[in-house]
Amino acid sequence: MSTSEDHDHDHDHGAEAPVTDRVHDNSWSANLEEPHHADDPDAVVEGAVTAIEHTAPGNHVNLVTHGDHGHPETYLYDALAETYGDDVDWEYVEQCGCGGHVVRVHV
């Protein structure tokens, strides 16, 4: 019989993993659809800010937001404007088949 001590775990089941832990010098997508994002729209905004901060200038990040909060214009756009002003540009791309939404942010 195996136990949890028999396995090499690289994560904490109770902890929420960060959106990213490195600066991306390319275009990439940030997954903001985890269960904790569904429970808290502020977590989506915080994850979006983290993703943007970890995107090198000249690239873009696709913010894939949780569908439970509806269209990102209702909660994310104002937060981006308040945080970044004219320093970044964003555009709505599409709604995913899973119900989430994709917003592309150009850094």
Mean pLDDT on 23-41:
93
What pLDDT does 20 receive? 82
Domain presence at residue 64: yes
In a domain, 47, yes or no: yes
Has residue 90 been placed in a domain?
Answer: yes
DSSP 34: S
Instruction: Return the structure tokens found at 97.
Output: 């088949």
pTM across the whole model: 0.81
**Predicted confidence band of residue 19 (pLDDT cuts 50, 70, 90):** confident
Is 62 within the bounds of a domain?
A: yes
Q: Which domain holds residue 93?
A: 43-107
**Cα 104 to chain center, whole Å?**
11
Position 24: which residue type? H
Residue 22: band (very low, low, confident or very high) from pLDDT cuts 50, 70, 90: confident
Residue 83 lies in a domain: yes
Number of domains, the chain: 1
pLDDT at site 16: 62
| Residue 18 is assigned to a structural domain of this protein | no
Ramachandran angles phi, psi of 82, nearest 5°? -65, -40
Give the neighbor-by-neighbor strand order of the sheet with 101-106.
28-32, 60-65, 101-106, 89-95
Task: Please report whether residue 11 resides in a domain.
Answer: no
Q: Is the model's pLDDT at 7 over the cut of 70?
A: no
Place of tokens 């269960």: 35
> Is residue 58 domain-resident?
yes
Euclidean distance between CA atoms 10 and 77, whole angstroms: 34
